[in-house]
Structure 1
Amino acid sequence: MRERKRDVLELLGAARHTWIASGDGGGPHLIPLACVWDGTRVAMSTRAASRTVRNLRRPGRARLAFGSPVDVVLVDGDVAIAEPDAVPAETRAALAELPLNPERVPGCVYLFVTPRRVQAWRHMGEMADREVMTNGRWVV
């Protein structure tokens, strides 16, 4: 399990894209977004008027999917939506590589997902022990 947690943290640190799932009364919505892991949360940016942002304003929760079908990491977490001026300068500098950077693209906001539950597996044999974070705490 310790190795799997290490693998998850390595994948999050290296990932530059994720799939983010949100939903509303009309059903689920899934899109890819560029991302950056800051060690405690996944940061992304998108247009403030997007369906994703509208969906996330109410429940404030999302699911992120990383990896491939043979190396899956799912992150369920709390979402904070932030206008550019509400984010500290050092954080904005760390997120400068995001393609829809609110510093350069008007009408964009930051999305920060703080993991509450993380599941990870590579094959059916790992399904039973796939939960590596529960209630915001690493299992190992």
Structure 2
Amino acid sequence: MTQTQRGQTGAPVRPLAQRKADVLEMLRTERNGWLATADSAGGPHLVPLAYVWDGSQIVMSTKEAARTVRNGGRARLALGSPTDVVLIDGDLCVLPATANVTPEAVRLPLHPSRVPGCVYLVLKPRRVLAWRDRSEMRERVVMASGHWLI
């Protein structure tokens, strides 16, 4: 096979439909990611957070006084490893502890019902990138403008 058919790891290059399925499986089974936000001056902030996926958005929680909460706005969640990357860009909403979010949120370590002073962070994906090695970089976008490409 040629380099365009196989990645550097030797695994076949995944078609877009398989990448989407792999992203959805990772969202469903993984529990932790790295959330990046920036303040109004563009100063970056990166924190590890537990999350749950409800099928359309990612729900996290943190202390209300956290810099992540103050930053709000646009955010990026990084999942996976250097050989199985998923980057999710979207709008980050901060919701009060009393908000009615997905029932799966009870699994969050900092669930507002158990940890006073916590709020929900809800990330609505707008763009999703997924690749395993350089051979998948060209077609790494699996969601754009909030819509899956396949």
TM-score by length of 1: 0.92
Look up the SS of the partner of 2:107 in the other structure: coil
Mapping of residues 1-140 of structure 1, within 5 Å: 1-24=16-39, 25=41, 27-56=43-72, 60-87=73-100, 91=102, 93-140=103-150
Structure 1 gap segments, 5+ residues each: none
**Greater Rg over alpha carbons, structure:** 2
Q: Pick closer, same or farther for the CA change 1:131–1:26 going to 2, 3 Å.
A: closer
What is the rounded CA distance, in whole Å, between the counterparts of 1:95 and 1:101 in structure 2?
7
Question: Any stretches of 5+ residues in structure 2 without a counterpart?
Answer: 1-15
Partners of 2:42 and 2:89 lie apart in 1 by 20
* Alpha carbons of structure 1 residues 5 and 100: separation in structure 2 relative to 1, 3 Å: same
Deviations 1:102-129 (A, max 9, x none): 0111110001101000000000000000
Given residue 140 of structure 2, which amino acid in structure 1 is its aligned partner? Answer: R
CA deviation digits over 1:46-100, x for unaligned, max 9?
00100110011xxx21000000000000000111111121225xx2x32111111
Measured on the aligned residues, the alpha-carbon RMSD in Å equals 1.0
SS at match of 1:129: coil
TM-score (norm: length of structure 2): 0.86
Moved over 2 A (4+): none
Between Structure 1 and Structure 2, the one with more helix by share is 1
Structure 1 CA distance, aligned partners of 2:104 and 2:32? 16
